[in-house]
A and B are shown apart, each in its own frame.
Chain A
Amino acid sequence: MLREISEKLALYLSRHFQEAEVSALERVHGGASRETYRFRLRFREKGEGVAGGARRERRLILRRQPVGSLIETEARAEYAAYQIFQKSDVPVPEVLFLEEAGGILERPFFIMEEVSGCESASPFVSDPYGGARERIGRRFWEILGKISADEARALRFAERMPSPKREECWRRELDYWEGVIDEDEVEPNPIVRAAIRRLRREPPPPPERIALVHGDYRTGNFLFNAAGEICAILDWEMAHLGDPLEDVAWALDALWAFDDAARPGGMIPTDEALAIWREVSGIGVKGGALRWWRIFAAVKGVAIWTSSAKEFGEGANRDPVLALSGWYTLARHNRILLSLLDGGGEVSGVA
């Protein structure tokens, strides 16, 4: 299969480069919302003759829509988010080409540069950042503050993707993810249904302003280096416009903290994280609103894992990662949701 993809990719890239040659293609392990491959491209720029010198080489990433995905997202939303943050304070890889129709690779895909010399951490291991956790944690929350604060880029995103009214943010998100559960639920889940009813009875206040929401901002979705620098924010496939607290709550979710809930994502304590985000974004955090979005984050998680279970169970996608998500991760998120509904998971450090 890798050989076939490699050949098709070379054929595709020959439309953009002379003498395009693809090698060392390998699949990257990780989320099941996209198939991710890294490869080496050797090429000459169009119009550059042999006399132009030696062929150049780049390490690139292919992100392709899988056959059955646990989240239904458009490649263009992810691509647009990467494009908007090129050469900004928010580090992202350079994106090169988007093919929404899929064409030669059959399903929608895009190509971007590989950020080398970095790694990502698993949220399912203890202390994923070791001695660098403080530095990485401060930068992680600072970058989120910049994403939330950037009104100009949110406006650019709004030119390509729908923008809700401030008072509609919570309902739009809740309607969407409840719809996913309605559609994909095989085993009825009374915990998530109780949570959804609570969220509808006690809606949050509208956000101060509409922001670009990453949608999956957490440990595991950024690259860092040995010096403790964050090199790239990845996995923008759920990017949309909405309430910036949605990203804050998702990043705080206990699922990403493994065994130390006091340090979201295995990084810095919650109080410090929120203080940094508030300062950088200039957005206030009200306890009731953040509490609403934290319950919502767990509902959204349950929805995603419910879809994983269905995709795997029905055979639409037999990636074992989906079975793991639909079993282990769903069971964990149900417990997190219960603790939030019971009054656990109180958020400190909020106004």
Chain B
Amino acid sequence: MSPEVGDILRAVFLQMLTEVAPRMGEDYDAKQASVLGALMVFCADEYERAAEIRVRENGAMRVIFKRALRHIGAGGEGVAGDLREELERAVEMVEGSLAISELNRVNYFYRRVLVCLQDFCEGEDAGWARDLDREIWLCLRLMAEGRVVRLPGM
């Protein structure tokens, strides 16, 4: 079995920290080596979780968009009409693969639609809009927690 990417990056980080950085004469170079090491640990963690994070985020946003379509009526004009079109595009959109670039393509589009949807809900004085707004906040929390980055050793 070949070594996993995460294991390789963590091993390189340890080498950088214990062998390369201490041999660097200049303080600046040693600190830059430490930063590079920290980035390697981030990359190792991300290698393991990157696809899962994006699939989960896209799924959570898709559920919100489907729910929003029940309230933002068909044939609507102006902002509501434009938003409905975007929501319809979003729920029909499918990730073509699990490649990070493909997951990001959908994720970035979804994030833009989510911004428009929340902006719309904030301007609506109706129970469904307040409920949807609450769901969006829960989704944002999930996204922020899912993307926590921990410094090595924490």
Q: What is the interface of chain A, defined by CB distance below 8 A to chain B?
A: 26-29, 124, 187-191, 193-194, 197, 320-321, 323-324, 327-328, 331-332, 334-335, 338, 342
Contacts and interface: CB of A to CB of B under 8 A. Distances in A.
Given A188-B112, A328-B151, A320 B35 contact: yes
B149 A29 contact: no
B148 A321 contact: no
Contacts of B140: 190-191, 194, 338
B149 A327 contact: yes
Contact of A190 (B31, B42, B118, B145): B118
Contacts of A29: 27-28, 31-32
Interface residues of B, number: 31
A327 B42 contact: yes
A338 B141 contact: yes
Contact of B151 (A124, A193, A321): A124
A334 B147 CA distance: 10
A31 to B, nearest CB: 12
Given A193-B115, A197-B119, A334-B144, A27 B26 contact: yes
B131 interface: no
A26 B28 contact: yes
B38 to A, nearest CB: 6
B47 interface: no
A320 B32 contact: yes
Contacts of A191: 140, 143-144
Contact of B39 (A26, A187, A323): A323
B122 interface: yes
B145 A335 contact: yes
B108 A187 contact: yes
Nearest to A336: B144
A342 B137 CA distance: 9
Interface of B: 26-28, 31-32, 35-36, 38-39, 42, 104, 107-108, 111-112, 114-115, 118-119, 122, 136-137, 140-141, 143-145, 147-149, 151
Q: Which secondary structure characterizes the binding site on chain A?
A: helix
Contacts of B148: 331, 335
7 contacts: A26-B26, A27-B28, A188-B108, A190-B140, A190-B143, A323-B39, A335-B144
B27 A26 contact: yes
Given A27-B28, A29-B27, A189 B111 contact: yes
A27 B144 CA distance: 35
Closest 5 CB pairs of A and B: A188-B111, A29-B31, A27-B28, A328-B149, A193-B115
Contacts of A324: 35, 38-39
Given A188-B108, A327-B42, A338-B140, 15 more contacts: A26-B28, A187-B104, A187-B107, A188-B115, A190-B115, A190-B118, A191-B140, A193-B119, A197-B122, A323-B39, A328-B149, A335-B145, A335-B148, A338-B141, A342-B141
B149 A331 contact: yes
Contacts of A320: 32, 35-36, 39
Nearest to A28: B28
Contacts of A342: 137, 141
A203 B13 CA distance: 46
Nearest to A126: B154
A211 B144 CA distance: 35
Contacts of B141: 338, 342
Contacts of B31: 29
